[in-house]
Amino acid sequence: MSEVKLTIIDHEGASHQVHAETGEVLMHVLRDNIDLNVGICGGEISCGTCLVRLAPEWAERIDAAGGDEAEMLEALAAENNDRLGCQIILGESADGMRATLLNEE
């Protein structure tokens, strides 16, 4: 596995540089490094606490949301670049990714 560097903007607007291993789920990285309340459903696509807005150039690099995630994004009135962190597995192509945490529940 290799390491990727991410820039995460928290709920207060502060920028954090975090490192993660490829293969990790973004939700776990967010919870472990930024906010313990992220992913309170454990990645079951039922709470929306891991909702992030990806910078446009990064949203294009990730497969589109499908199935249950697409339904949850619709229920959350998410925008085009919004994704659930529990559904993003970080690969080498995620190096440099920029995302903003949205929900504070």
* DSSP-assigned beta bridge partners for residue 39: none
Helices (H), 19-66: 26-33, 56-59
Q: Give residue-wise pLDDT tens across range 56-77.
A: 988 888 888 999 999 999 999 9
What percentage of the chain reaches a pLDDT higher than 90?
82
Average pLDDT over residues 21-26: 96
Average pLDDT over residues 6-32: 96
State the residue range of the domain holding 25: 3-101
Cα distance between residue 59 and residue 81, in whole Å: 5
Task: Please answer whether residues 26 and 13 qualify as being in contact, where contact means their C-beta atoms are separated by less than 8 angstroms.
Answer: no
Q: Does pLDDT of 4 surpass 60?
A: yes
Q: End-to-end distance of the chain based on CA atoms, in angstroms?
A: 32
Return the CATH number at 71: 3.10.20.30
Band the pLDDT of 105: cuts 50, 70, 90.
low
Tally of structural domains, the chain: 1
Instruction: Specify the pTM.
Output: 0.92
